[in-house]
Amino acid sequence: MKPERVMGIAAALLALGIGIGALGSHALRDVLGARQLESLDTAVDYQLLNALGLLLIGLMMKTTARPGLQRIAFAVIAGVACFSGGIYLMLAGAPHVLGFVTPAGGVLLIGAWATLAYVSLKDSREDRR
């Protein structure tokens, strides 16, 4: 996956997250219960935060030759789709059996960021030698 595609997906996730957040703040306040709105806010927050991180990964891909950045970017994209997307689908009325998708997305996100930390720290140690 090219860096420009990663950054484009990040920008799309940011735009979508802002749109969903605005929809939740205005149109859905009277439709969803307090707990559902809290879940929506969590999904939007995770989407926006990870989209910003994905944007940084795209920039890293353009400027460094760190191995594995494409796989890390894919894991972040999949993690956002599973975590936030799972919550969005359940709030829209999808069967709650889809609830397993949300924690799987969280695991993907944790794994992606932990891998990026490992790769970056490993590279910094090698640079000091």
Mean of the pLDDT values across residues 84-107? 91
Domain count of the chain? 1
Asked, for residue 7, whether it belongs to a domain, the answer is yes
The two three-digit tokens of residue 44, written as one number: 């939007």
Asked, for residue 128, whether it belongs to a domain, the answer is no
Tens of pLDDT, residue by residue over 21-64, are 998 877 777 777 789 888 899 999 999 999 999 999 999 999 98
Asked, for residue 82, whether it belongs to a domain, the answer is yes
Residue located via tokens 């940011």? 14
Asked, for residue 127, whether it belongs to a domain, the answer is no
Q: Mean pLDDT, the chain, as a whole number? A: 91
* Helix (H) or strand (E) run with residue 117 in it: helix 101-128
**Cα–Cα distance between 6 and 21 in angstroms, integer?**
22
Asked, for residue 48, whether it belongs to a domain, the answer is yes
Q: Which domain holds residue 52?
A: 3-122
